Amino acid sequence: MIKPVTFRNQGQQLVGILHVPDWLQNGEKVPGIVMFHGFTGHKSETHRLFVHMARALCDSGFVVLRFDFRGSGDSDGDFDDMTVPGEVNDAERAVTFLGDQEFIDRNRIGVVGLSMGGRVAAILASKDRRVKFAVLYSAALGPLGERFLSQTDEKTLRKLDAGEAISVGNGWYLKKPFYDTIDDPVPLDVMGEIRVPVLLIHSDMDQVVPIEDSRKGYEVVANLNEKNELYTVEGGDHTFSERRYTEEVIVKMLEWVESLGIRSSD
């Protein structure tokens, strides 16, 4: 069963989809997962990647929430005002919303993040003890400030300083707060605080976020939990767009989550 839902954060409405197993009985408590989309993405993600993932997780016994960050998809706000700390704040609120559902076991909530959403998931897992496991797909874990500013000239920087939104391509615009806070913090600097299991999945041919980000992230967390793992998709792209890669990463995620025993409340 899928159910459109809304919840609020800082006076704005966020729009999501809740996937609930059809067999769920009244009074039954099951684990939950919140999904965080990528930069300029939305709750379905490119080629409906998040839909496929959510369905698979739901079929495996999880209630799944996928939603649009403020300024993205159908949610309130403008993308111009997007910041990573703002999305982390939305992520916290989404975990609260999911945990408030009567059929959710609050002690068994995990997160899944793609690209910039993986950045959000890593930061959240480093500080929010409600998160019990994290799956990071093609996660942007390294410093990004210099990368985002590298193609801006002095005239554009003056526009930013004047409060104007500047183009980041394909019809998207951002304001100065995004650039000021993009590395506050850098996930690689805080992932040492993650004590829960982490699965990093990355394609070796990713042209958007280099696999080195996940390799460095794994180096940080490798010895923090025996379940931590880095899985390399050979030949895949940033969003696993070929069907065989989509199926591969979903199967890997399901196998890894199953190995955690998270579906059991014992």
pTM metric for this prediction = 0.97
Element (H, E) at 105: strand 104-114
Q: How far apart are CA 124 and CA 9, in angstroms?
A: 16
Q: How far apart are CA 18 and CA 35, in angstroms?
A: 11
Q: Which domains, from first to last, does the chain contain?
A: 2-143+185-259 (3.40.50.1820), 145-181 (no CATH)
| pLDDT one-digit tens code per residue, 74-98 | 999 999 999 999 999 999 999 999 9
Q: Burial of 11 by CB count in 10 Å (0-12 exposed, 13-18 middle, 19+ buried)?
A: exposed
pLDDT at 266: 45
**pLDDT class of 225 with cuts at 50, 70, 90:** very high
| pLDDT one-digit tens code per residue, 174-203 | 999 999 999 999 999 999 999 999 999 999
| For the chain, the helix, strand and coil percentages under 3-state DSSP, each to the nearest 5 | 35, 25, 40
Sign of the Cα pseudo-torsion (15, 130, 54, 233, in order): positive
